[in-house]
Structure 1
Amino acid sequence: MRKLAVLSMHTSPLAQPGIGDGGGMNVYVREVSSALEQAGISSTVFTRRVDSETPKVMTFGDGLNVVQIDAGDFSLRKEDLYSVISDFTNGVEDFLLKEDQHDALLANYWLSGSAAHKLKHSLNMPLLTSFHTLARVKAVSGDKSFGYDERITVESEVIGCSDVILSNSSFEMDQLVSYYGADPSRVEIVPPGVDHSIFNPASKKEAREILNLNEQKTLLFVGRIQPLKGVDLAVSTLSELEDKDTRLVLIGSPSGLEGPSEERHIRKKIEELGLTDRVQFVEPQPHEKLVNWYRAADVLLMPSRSESFGLVALEAAACGLPVVASAVGGLQTIVKNDLSGYLIDDRDPWSYAAHVSKIINDSEKAEAMSKEAVKSSKSFTWSVTAARLRRICLDLQSRSLVDCA
């Protein structure tokens, strides 16, 4: 196995996480591709062109190429991209036929999975798929932001034909099997990693000086503003705290069809609860700046309705920040309940506030959780992720391709 064709149709690894549709998947594609390069397997990343200025091929890291594929108007929303799947598929196929040096396909998300499924058959190449989120899981969580029937059909087809399905955790593997009937023998658990050279503990006082923050207790939320992420619950948690001096910092921007209306809802709620002076909105931050917010905060709130993994929680843990999160998906792998943070089974803001209070009102508890968070994060590295993927890719060479025809 020499080289992978990595498909990331709806978002580029070069994009800033937290803006628009950019999130943990951007980080995953960039870091996995870079780490695989170090492990001896090169990658070419294919994404959809969203402007006229970006060159056809851009290079990042140690010579990894990101290829911009023309597919529909630049302004198309993610929710409308399925209509241009054929254009994206054809563009990737044309490039691969000219290059003739890629050995397997790695698809990220259902849109790329749809394209890669077609390419698997037209080019006779093995297909590895990482879904990052699953429609049936999101629907069960109460997310009504998108009609899922078409997506569920595509996900089912791709799962049925993928030679390897990559799962972030045992929880996602269970979801793949129970909701989609995935063959467990083709599911490989490969957790993402975190860059410990960036995300590591440092002085809270110095971080607050850099950010011009005072000594108020600080709750932190990092993510896209959309109903699925539970920003409204983070705000309600702040309101329920007995300590009325604690502040909440929200880092992110609106995403998806409901993003703008959700932000308006959040801002109105903050005003109605009398929290205007205690909530700070901050635009999405690059990693080298985001790390200071993790170091400056006292607790990370992650009240998502569903999470495939939750890279933000892992980044926070690596910086020694205790996490109070929903007991969903991969967050249950990252957060060690009552050791590095708390996992909450309900969506009652009082429950979140009670557990936040246990941390911010007990300095010894907070310090112990901080140390345990750092310790538990050490097993998650991108080099380990790449090593597991490299082994899977090498094993794939000796397998017969799954035939879904």
Structure 2
Amino acid sequence: MKVNIWGFPYSLSGPAEHCKEFSRALSKQGADVAINSHFKGNWKFDSEIFELVNKQPYKNAIDVIMDPPSTWWSHMNEKHKALIGVTVFEGSQIGYDWALGIKQPEVDQIWCPSNHTKNSIEKGMESFFQEKQEKINVIPHGYDPKMFYPSDKKEDKLKYPEEDYFTFLFLGGWSQGKKDRKGLDIAYAAFCQEFSKKEPVKFLFKITSIYNPPGYNPLAQLQKIEETKKTEDYPILQSITQDVEKKQLANIYRCADVLVLPSKAEAFGMVGLEAMACGIPVITNNYGGQLDYINEDNGWIVKEGSFAPATDPLYIYDWADWFHPTIESWRKIMRKVYENKKEVEAKSKKSLETVKEFTWEKAGQKAIKLLEQY
């Protein structure tokens, strides 16, 4: 089985990691995979991905397109055994350009990582074309159990002051301040309002810098947020500023007791899955693809809030909403988590059970079954 993966693997972004790891998973299931990109980049790959990236596109193969549906047109007239469109979407429904691409009969299957994205596609198709799509399949993202696993060894954790403090961790992008989709400002404001420096608790964050504008200082931006200002008794905030390789991410997760995933909209939320694989349970909002694997048995769900249009300039659309949680609701849950260490331990164990069904190997197995008909 020859498979062309069309995507962009040249970064540590979620889409790039999906492109690389999904390609690797298909290859390990026996598919002959080539990773192709319309735009080349400069990136250091491991040997397995390097080999896939340096192959030429196969002729008359299965083409798997990991780009927005509005860009699929360039592949529709090419000769192939099948055309598979892979897409993610964070908001409440896709727009017209995406729906039009998905509608085309040349597209044999649609793959998406979560039921949230599947529902967003279905709502868009019904809204713009009054039709249902039967060709949508959910193939979740995954994690590598050889990289993300629990460990109490000191060498498996990054070292920071106050290591014995209860630690809330945020890991992700945050480049647009209070308008940003990832919602760091909400969780951080809740932390600042709820806790004081007298308590053995801290907020640790690592910002993914790939989306940051030149000269952007996330710590300075956080401290400008009105809801976080205090005259005294400020709780502890620590920032991981150095660049890290992917294999070091697990060491960051293991520094924490709990991960906060306060995204206003999320297609899947790979950081949540990776944290849980390290035994770190997650607090998140009651909206998004992460709810396929985070629930009240293995984590905490913030339910208070309202739906409103997207605010992040990187996501310009007026046909879809995001969920905007209240700071007060985050305060309540963060306090509850901090004061119930046994509950954290119990949900850590539940998290480790849950993630067993979300490895890249299982994603590859499901994809291969769907491709065998071609």
TM class, shorter-length: 0.7 to 0.9
Query: Relative to structure 1, is the Cα distance of residues 312 and 295 closer, same or farther in structure 2, using a 3 angstrom cutoff?
Result: same
Corresponding residue pairs, total:
338
- Asked if 2 retains the 8 angstrom alpha-carbon contact of 1:116 and 1:127, the reply is no
Question: Does 2:330 align with 1:349?
Answer: no
Q: 1:117 to 1:273 in 2, by over 3 A?
A: farther
Query: 1:197–1:207: structure 2 CA closer, same or farther, 3 Å change rule?
Result: closer
**Of 255, 271, 288, which residue of structure 2 is paired with 1:329?**
288
Q: 2:52 aligns with which of 58, 65, 73?
A: 65
1:159 equivalent to 2:117? Answer no
3-state secondary structure, aligned to 2:239: strand
SS at match of 2:169: strand
Structure 2 residue runs without a partner (length 5+)? 306-324
Q: Distance in 1 between matches of 2:35 and 2:89?
A: 20
Distance 1:361 1:257, change over 3 A: closer
Q: Mark the CA change 1:260 to 1:177 in structure 2 (over 3 Å): closer, same or farther.
A: farther
Q: CA deviation at 1:63?
A: 6.2
Q: What aligned pairs does 1:192-341 form with structure 2 within 5 A after superposition?
A: 192-203=141-152, 207=156, 210-211=159-160, 213-226=162-175, 227-244=180-197, 245=199, 246-254=201-209, 256=211, 263=218, 265-269=221-225, 272-273=229-230, 275=234, 277-337=236-296, 339-341=297-299
Aligned partners of 1:296, 1:328: CA distance in 2, in Å? 26
CA change 1:62–1:155 in 2 (3 A) is closer
Give unpaired runs (5+ residues) of structure 1.
69-94, 141-150, 398-405
- Measured at CA, do residues 229 and 54 of structure 1 come closer, stay the same or move farther in structure 2, by a change above 3 Å? closer
1 CA distance for matches of 2:217 and 2:85? 31
Q: CA deviation at 1:273?
A: 4.0
Residue equivalent to 1:180: 125
The residue that corresponds to 2:28 in the other structure is 38
1:118-164 Cα shifts (integer Å, max 9, x gaps): 22223255211121225xx27x7xxxxxxxxxx93431222112211
How does the TM-score come out when normalised to structure 1?
0.75
Aligned counterparts of 2:166 and 2:330: Cα–Cα separation in 1: 16
| TM alignment of 1:100-139, pairs within 5 A | 100=59, 102-110=60-68, 113-133=69-89, 137=91
Partner in structure 1 of residue 314 of structure 2: none
Taking a change above 3 Å as real, the CA distance of residues 258 and 159 of structure 1, as seen in their structure-2 partners, is: farther
Q: Deviation at 1:302? A: 0.7
Question: Structure 1 vs Structure 2: percent identity of aligned residues?
Answer: 20
* SS in structure 1 at match of 2:225: helix
Question: How far is the alpha carbon of 1:177 from its aligned partner?
Answer: 0.6
Query: Does the alignment pair 1:361 with 2:339?
Result: yes
**RMSD of aligned Cα (Å):** 3.0
Matched, 1:385 2:330: no
CA pair 45-212 structure 1, distance change in 2 beyond 3 A: farther
Higher helix share: 1
Bigger mean CA deviation after superposition, 346-355 or 301-310: 346-355
